[in-house]
Amino acid sequence: MASDIDLHAAYLDPILDRYGYAATNLLQILREAQEHHSYIHPDAIDHLIAKLQIPRARIEGVASFYSFLHLQPHGEYRVLFSDNITDRMLGSVELMQKMCQQLWVEPGKMSEDGLVSIGTTSCTGMCDQGPAMLVNGRAITHLTHQRVQEIGQLIRNRTALADWPAEFFRVEDNIRRKGLLLGNTLASGDALCAALVLGAQNIIEAIKTSGLRGRGGAGFPTGLKWEACRNAPDSIRHVICNADEGEPGTFKDRVLLTSYADLVFDGMTLCALAVGAQHGYLYLRGEYQYLLEPLQAVLQSRRNANLLGNNILGHAGFNFDIAIHLGAGAYICGEESALIESLEGKRGVPRNRPPFPVTHGYLQQPTALDNVETFCQAALAIQMGAEKYRAIGTAKSTGSKLISVSGDCPRPGIYEYPFGVTVREILQDCGAVNTCAVQVSGPSGICVAKSEFHRKLGFEDLPTAGAFMVFDDSRDMFEVARNFVHFFAHESCGFCTPCRVGTSMLKQTMDKIAEGHGTKYDLSEVEHLDQVLQTTSHCGLGRTACNPVLHTLKHFRPAYENRLKSLDFEPAFDLDGALARARQMTGRDDAGAHIETEES
Ligand SMILES: Cc1cc2nc3c(=O)[nH]c(=O)nc-3n(C[C@H](O)[C@H](O)[C@H](O)COP(=O)(O)O)c2cc1C
Ligand code: SF4
């Protein structure tokens, strides 16, 4: 009879074979290993230790870092409701409660029979068609009470996911406004052919002339990045496409990868030509797992057309191919150095910078890492000509930008504009009325109030990675900020103490205010915390974590003040509240034993 270890070897060995027994593929191996159980079995870990020759601490450390990997049994059906504020606005909290009741399971726990676990996850990137959920990693959109009930029944009946109605899994593009990029009529390989005519050095010059800046948020000049990578002294170079798209409210990369994948790969391949790279990687967020197969098919058709592989399009020595790696539910892996760590099969903890990825990236070798949209824009700029591209947009923000519109508007979806478009124009186009605020560029971005709707999207005024969440005047902006603060506390990677502790303190402060125990002192403490986080955080997550509170405080102070006690200070531990239950149980309520407040 086969031993337990043999049982695990039977499914693990083919996975290990496919990944060449390389520890750099640990995350991919663990992801696939988990598909055979609801979690990574301890015997499977023993087998991996033996075969990969890496310590247990490394394997368990990686498995415990990513929220989609589990070291303990989870339900046969793992249900995760997207917990972005836009999903909440569409009723996700009530839907989750309903499903928990239907299946007799507590949120965050597994049912006693091991059938199902139900919980929440950070934004799944489906804000234009929410509320959304993931079931065993597969995205389901447009949740309604009826759909949730049907899903509950399918789970009860143990119906295989493959037999669930296909429309549950339909993800629409919702392209509402096309421009330069979305309206392009390029065939697969057109931009690459144009790049081959230019040659490596001229591609970099053209990208510099075009004024192209990264679309992942920071806006670094793309031409300078590629030039630094090309000039780095090493013979092996890499190109990485950042498709982690974890910023809540952003889903434009999802649409590019769904309907413009060839343009993304054209951009990556011409970047490889420019910097002299041989290896390409697309780091795809785990939530977009459903895109893996179609993207693999696009890559294969490009190999068949010699747009990838050796001597690409007959150019001797131009060898380049692209592999896809899946993430596993960690927002921090969108930060470029954390992404590279993750790609190397480690925990996604940001590295010290400098050195930067252009000289010390993947495997410490020179790496050009860009956002999905940046590669598309680069391909476009090469095809249409740098000067022509430069004429679009504004002086410091050339070209166009894809905006992911969600929230209180009748037409959520993808809108493309030349940089310089005002907030008001976008609101008009998506049909928003009675808007009180727009959150530009996600929780780490900027909250723009009505008086500022004349402001323009672009690096000169409102830089953005693309999220545009609309809130009408029925919304409570305190609750919006509270949701964002919970997101940061959940997603802090824990590497540096100020961010780990600070984001958790911020969350507790907002919860304290929500429960009616907040005071003016708590608000002043947030400003203090912001200074600490700004100056001591290792990466952008910690540095921007207080933004949602500070921005909403600036524009919507009454939403906070209405909840505050008139006290100047109340301790975080509510002694009187804690004693209330004991008083109730004993029936003894001595007035003298109550803590005196200003109000009493
Ligand atoms: C916490 C954090 C999360 C990030 N998430 C993403 C992301 O999901 N996608 C992305 O392209 N860039 C993200 N970035 C920015 C990347 O670090 C990097 O600047 C970008 O991918 C570079 O590409 P670009 O020059 O084309 O913009 C993130 C940065 C931080 C600090
Ligand atoms: S700032 Fe936060 S997310 Fe960034 S490295 Fe430190 S702990 Fe991790």
DSSP per-residue string spanning 160-219: -GGGS-GGGG-----EEE--TTTT--PPTTHHHHHHHHH-HHHHHHHHHHHT-B-SSSS-
Here the tokens at position 31 are 């992801």
Cβ count within 10 A of residue 527: 12
| Residue 583 banded pLDDT, cuts 50, 70, 90 | low
Rounded to whole angstroms, the Cα distance separating 34 from 178 reads: 40
| Residue 6 banded pLDDT, cuts 50, 70, 90 | confident
Rounded to whole angstroms, the Cα distance separating 357 from 241 reads: 13
Q: From the CA of 445, how far away is ligand 1's center (Å)? A: 13
pLDDT (mean) for 234-244:
95
Query: What is residue 1's predicted lDDT score, i.e. its pLDDT?
Result: 45
**Ligand 1 pocket test: which of 336, 397, 490 has the largest number of ligand atoms within 8 Å of its C-beta?**
336
pLDDT (mean) for 389-397:
98
Return the minimum-mean-pLDDT range out of 45-49, 51-55, 218-222, 572-576. 572-576
Return the minimum-mean-pLDDT range out of 39-48, 367-376, 432-441, 577-586. 577-586
Q: Which residues fall within 8 angstroms of residue 596, CB to CB, at 6 or more apart?
A: none
Query: What is residue 96's predicted lDDT score, i.e. its pLDDT?
Result: 98
Q: From the CA of 239, how far away is ligand 1's center (Å)? A: 15
Return the minimum-mean-pLDDT range out of 68-82, 224-238, 576-590. 576-590
Task: Say yes or no: CB of residue 500 within 6 Å of ligand 2.
Answer: yes
Residue-wise pLDDT tens digits, 296-353: 999 999 999 999 999 999 999 999 999 999 999 999 999 999 999 999 999 999 999 9
Q: Which atom of ligand 1 is nearest to the CA of 338?
A: 17
Task: Say yes or no: CB of residue 266 within 6 Å of ligand 1.
Answer: no
How large a percentage of the chain has pLDDT more than 90? 92
Here the tokens at position 450 are 């009505």
Is residue 278 exposed (0-12), middle (13-18) or buried (19+ Cβ within 10 Å)?
Answer: middle
pLDDT beyond 60 at 232: yes
Q: From the CA of 584, how far away is ligand 1's center (Å)? A: 52
**Ligand 2 pocket test: which of 335, 493, 506, 533 has the largest number of ligand atoms within 8 Å of its C-beta?**
493
Rounded to whole angstroms, the Cα distance separating 436 from 474 reads: 8
Radius of gyration of the chain from Cα atoms? 25
| Residue 581 banded pLDDT, cuts 50, 70, 90 | low
pLDDT beyond 50 at 597: no
Is residue 387 exposed (0-12), middle (13-18) or buried (19+ Cβ within 10 Å)?
Answer: exposed
Query: What is residue 7's predicted lDDT score, i.e. its pLDDT?
Result: 84
Query: What is residue 599's predicted lDDT score, i.e. its pLDDT?
Result: 42
pLDDT beyond 90 at 21: yes
Question: Residue 79: in which H helix or E strand, if any?
Answer: strand 77-82
Q: Where are the alpha helices (DSSP H) in 346-419?
A: 357-360, 372-384, 386-390
Query: What is residue 548's predicted lDDT score, i.e. its pLDDT?
Result: 97
Q: Tell me phi and psi for residue 240, to 5 degrees.
A: -125, 135
pLDDT (mean) for 525-536:
94
Residue-wise pLDDT tens digits, 116-165: 999 999 999 999 999 999 999 999 999 999 999 999 999 999 999 999 99
Here the tokens at position 276 are 């002299």
Q: Is-contact 452 423, C-beta < 8 A? A: yes
Here the tokens at position 121 are 């996850």
Q: Which residues fall within 8 angstroms of residue 227, CB to CB, at 6 or more apart?
A: 204, 208
Among protein residues, the one with the nearest Cα to ligand 2's atom 4 is 539
Return the minimum-mean-pLDDT range out of 335-339, 360-364, 463-467, 594-598. 594-598
pLDDT (mean) for 226-248:
96
Short-list 349, 340, 331, CA closest to 246: 331
Query: What is residue 586's predicted lDDT score, i.e. its pLDDT?
Result: 59
Q: Is-contact 477 469, C-beta < 8 A? A: no
Q: From the CA of 59, how far away is ligand 2's center (Å)? A: 21
Rounded to whole angstroms, the Cα distance separating 443 from 150 reads: 33
> Could you say which ligand is closest to the alpha carbon of residue 444?
1
């392009």: which residue's tokens? 184
pLDDT (mean) for 535-548:
96
Q: Is-contact 509 486, C-beta < 8 A? A: no
Return the minimum-mean-pLDDT range out of 61-75, 251-265, 561-575. 561-575
| Residue 234 banded pLDDT, cuts 50, 70, 90 | confident
pLDDT beyond 50 at 598: no
Rounded to whole angstroms, the Cα distance separating 57 from 69 reads: 15
pTM tops 0.75: yes
Among protein residues, the one with the nearest Cα to ligand 1's atom 20 is 216
Among protein residues, the one with the nearest Cα to ligand 1's atom 1 is 541
3-state helix, strand, coil in the chain (%, to 5): 50, 15, 35
Q: Is-contact 347 67, C-beta < 8 A? A: no
> Could you say which ligand is closest to the alpha carbon of residue 537?
2
pLDDT beyond 80 at 216: yes
Cβ count within 10 A of residue 316: 8
Here the tokens at position 530 are 């912001």
Q: Which atom of ligand 1 is nearest to the CA of 213?
A: 25
Residue-wise pLDDT tens digits, 158-197: 999 999 999 999 999 999 999 999 999 999 999 999 999 9
Q: Which atom of ligand 1 is nearest to the CA of 245?
A: 8
Short-list 316, 231, 311, 322, CA closest to 283: 322
Edge-to-edge order in the sheet of strand 133-135: 116-121, 77-82, 133-135, 138-140
**Type of residue numbered 573:** F
Residue-wise pLDDT tens digits, 422-457: 999 999 999 999 999 999 999 999 999 999 999 999
Rounded to whole angstroms, the Cα distance separating 295 from 299 reads: 6
Q: 350: phi > 0 → left, psi -120 to 50 → alpha, else beta; which?
A: beta
Query: What is residue 580's predicted lDDT score, i.e. its pLDDT?
Result: 63
Classify the C-alpha dihedral 395-400-404-408 as positive or negative.
positive
Task: Say yes or no: CB of residue 287 within 6 Å of ligand 1.
Answer: no
Q: In residues, how long is the chain?
A: 600
Cβ count within 10 A of residue 474: 9
Q: Is-contact 362 277, C-beta < 8 A? A: no
